[in-house]
Structure 1
């Protein structure tokens, strides 16, 4: 079964290990290092259940996505698949929504970077760091896909190594020493119990936890530049989900046993707080550097994802042809440039709402990603049936429990999106619903204009022939 290859011209240079580290780099960012403080403050120790449920949803999502991506390894990914198996309008909506999500997520990361840099330079305006780090990452992305992958690989290694080190250090403090008071498993049940805010707080924190997993779907976008998608994509997706789940649950459990949950917040990383409480010389500064690299790594991946999505839209004639042009090194530089607009938004929001810019940007950036995830679940329901009905090849990976687990994943995700309306993240739907309406109107207008152009071209050809 053929599908339009909206990634034509891109170079297939990404290996399985690079894909895995890119996905890890995207997901291990402010969602864990800074956003976890927000989740802990919402659910208390019950956040462990929140992240477990969030990981389960993502596991189902990756199962669906792996199967479809192996069948259609293009840079358009889930947008191209929605176009083919649902409706061209669905493909249009999901790609533009994912693009704006990544563009705004860049703003989330850059807002976090401004927070981290205050640790060392409290008197320097955040806009200075925004400009400096933006310039560096645009240069990395504009060089080549290999330069991007190398940067992401090593920055991801720093983050993974730091998390492993944090887990080992925490385990040693908890089980190998006895010199620290008020440290231990009792912190999980003291101060209001395991669920101090009840089921409601735990459920809302599931929604927040999903932000920590955003970015795992980037593997599907990179499939258009993967060397061997049949092998690389499913391996990378599976490894990413299981590693992330283990990292998140273990790190949060250790953190909560060392630091009482009431101490968590978003004015600084909970990881840094742990180091400060333990009085390890220089450790808090090192950890702040690590969470800084985490934010830079995620921002780097988001620049990649947004530029490739815009490139795909151009290939489908849903965006100006300029954004579909590649430089000599195979990079869509125009698409990359327009995808940096989220940084401008972040700079403005950071200036207007210095105390709440992170939570605000996080809320509005989540809609596009969660809408994309919902469409992935829906697309998979139609994909599997049509793939088998039309005699598609036997795929090396298949989502288990079809269609039941696909439906469960979609319903859980939809219910969490509805939950947002009754929380401080209401901004997500207040932004997202008008956004979808605006896109729908734009799609109808574009199709009408395209039909008129096609009619004029046919008339012109007919006149020439006659």
Structure 2
């Protein structure tokens, strides 16, 4: 244990900025955009905008609490303090379980991406190598985690900016005059080819591209000068969404008829290929591989901190609350990483068959985390009003926007029941909540 028995504040502002930005950019954008385009057509950019605005509001709620109390465990700690023991227990273990599944899915993705270059390399070997390397990195200190995440996020961001710039270059250099060079936005069934219903279904799908963005709240316990760095990181979430999601989709939809995007290759490969870069597929594969490793890195980090926070509240075994001399929750890292070894075994026995299974189970947990943040914030602000306490980073439009977010997230559950492959996640929700309740009762015997 370090001298203060606390996590060390080793994350600088540039680390937090990239962690927040990297959390909003993952394989959902790089590979998942084709399915959302099929649902909404050119209006997919509107789906990302609406979803992004709602996520920004939720992040502002989390930010207000994190600046007021920058602790490890984040919204699980706040849920326990301002809502009750079971909501805190539920949110902490739900978040941990969600990220275990996400990390398993990302390890599986790593194996798939590596086979692009090494077709004979078994998926489980690539997954195991990634697991060992990232676990070792996290065991050293939080600064190394932040530094690694900084550079991996930078690769993702550079790739997206490059794709946007190349796309704009193609549009501006088009032999067609304005506005004909943008006619793909309305020429194939209109801007909303599948109507409002198609847009609504697309919103339900794109919300899971934002999963992990709440990681910025988990970092609060190890952020240098959290009063300054957390508001900066969160306030920049909205323009990042506008540039990296809405901007990318706008360029893609203007470049090609929406029905053709992603059918023969990834939408992003099409941009590279169109400007004569023969290594387009290799460049994209490197970027998505980096994105998958980045998410796994963040998953191990956040899971170990969540276990540390749960142990501090006596909601997890006490041994998980111990720190190394460098202020690192080593046991939480090893437990979280060790459980993802199941993924290596699954990839050995069922290669190529578990990625979507893992993601379909994990997706619903993200909305539980967001709902917990919104409701806990209502309780937090009520407590502040009752005690006359002023906060430093107020969430806008309280409480109206809280109720709007609750209605929005519940509607996402309803829409998911209408999408094949996502409906399973909604149907297992009651069973999952029951398991958490049983675990809570057992822990409180």
Cα separation, partners in 2 of 1:259 and 1:302, compared to 1, 3 Å: farther
Alignment partner of 2:417: what SS? helix
Quickly say closer, same or farther: Cα 1:98–1:174, change in 2 above 3 A: same
Alignment CA distance shift 1:71-1:97 (3 Å): same
Unmatched runs of 5 consecutive residues or more in structure 1: 1-6, 449-466
Query: Contact between 1:67 and 1:399, CA under 8 Å: does it hold in 2?
Result: yes
Aligned partner of 2:216 among 215, 219, 223: 219
Match of 2:13 in 1: 16
Measure how far apart 1:268 and its partner are: 6.5
8 Å CA contact 1:21, 1:157 repeated in 2: yes
1:415 maps to: 411
Please tell me the root mean square deviation across aligned C-alpha atoms, in Å. 2.3
CA contact (8 A) 2:322 2:331 kept: yes
Q: 1:43, CA displacement in angstroms?
A: 2.4
Partner of 1:361: 358
CA distance in 2, matches of 1:189, 1:131: 47
**Aligned mates of 1:345, 1:187 — CA distance in 2:** 45
8 Å CA contact 1:105, 1:342 repeated in 2: no
CA distance in 2: counterparts of 1:231 and 1:244, whole angstroms:
21
Q: Does 1:376 align with 2:386?
A: no
Conserved? CA contact 1:106–1:342, under 8 Å: no
Kindly state the Cα deviation for residue 350 of structure 1 after the two structures are TM-superposed.
Answer: 4.8
Provide the residue aligned with 2:336 in structure 1: 339
Distance in 1 (CA, whole Å) between partners of 2:386 and 2:374 is 19
> Could you say which residue in structure 1 is the equivalent of 2:243?
246
Counterpart of 1:93 in structure 2 is 90
Q: TM-score, normalised by structure 2?
A: 0.92
Give the C-alpha shift of residue 414 in structure 1.
1.5
Matched, 1:262 2:298: no
Counterpart check, 1:286 vs 2:283? yes
2:171 to 166, 174, 177: 174
Cα separation, 2, equivalents of 1:15 and 1:66: 17
Listed one character per residue, the Cα deviations across residues 83-103 of structure 1 (whole Å, up to 9, x for unaligned) are 111111100000000111111
Corresponding residue of 1:398: 394
Partners of 2:123 and 2:137 lie apart in 1 by 22
What is the distance in 1 between the residues matched to 2:265 and 2:125?
19
The residue that corresponds to 1:67 in the other structure is 64
Classify 1:277/1:396 alpha carbon distance in 2 versus 1 (closer, same or farther; 3 Å).
Answer: same
Contact kept? 1:130, 1:343, Cα under 8 Å: no
Rounded Cα–Cα distance in structure 2 between residues aligned with 1:262 and 1:345: 38
TM-fit CA distance, 1:41: 2.7
- Summarize the alignment of residues 89-238 of structure 1 with structure 2, pairs less than 5 Å apart: 89-178=86-175, 184-238=181-235
Q: For the residues of structure 1 that align with 2:172 and 2:262, how far apart are their CA atoms?
A: 26
Shift of 1:318: 1.1
Structure 1: distance between partners of 2:9 and 2:181: 49
Structure 1 CA distance for aligned equivalents of residues 105 and 242 of structure 2: 22
Counterpart residue number, 1:459: none
Change (3 A) 1:53 1:146: same
**3-state DSSP of counterpart to 2:54:** helix
For residues 263 and 431 of structure 1, the distance between their equivalents in structure 2, rounded to whole angstroms, comes to 35
Quickly say closer, same or farther: Cα 1:295–1:168, change in 2 above 3 A: same
- Residues in 2 aligned to 1:284 and 1:402: alpha-carbon distance in whole angstroms: 46
Cα distance in 1, alignment partners of residues 260 and 299 from structure 2: 30
Residues in 1 aligned to 2:323 and 2:151: alpha-carbon distance in whole angstroms = 26
Q: Distance in 1 between matches of 2:345 and 2:439?
A: 26
Shift of 1:306: 0.9
- Number of residues of Structure 1 aligned to a counterpart in Structure 2: 438
Q: 1:268 to 1:375 in 2, by over 3 A?
A: farther
CA apart distance, 1:348: 5.4
Q: Does 1:54 align with 2:45?
A: no
- Quote how far apart the aligned CAs of 1:250 are: 0.7
* 1:315 matched to 2:315: no
Equivalences for residues 414-453 of structure 1 within 5 A: 414-424=410-420, 425-448=422-445
Q: Give the Cα separation in 2 of the matches to 1:209 and 1:342.
A: 28
Structure 2: distance between partners of 1:276 and 1:289: 16
Mapped contact 1:219–1:233 kept (Cα < 8 A): yes
Residues 412-443 of structure 1, C-alpha deviation per residue, up to 9 Å, x if partnerless? 11111232122220122233321111110111
Q: 2:296 aligns with which of 257, 280, 299?
A: 299
Q: Residue by residue, what CA displacement relative to the aligned partner does 1:206-248 show, whole Å, maximum 9, x if unpaired?
A: 1221111112211111000111111111111111332133210
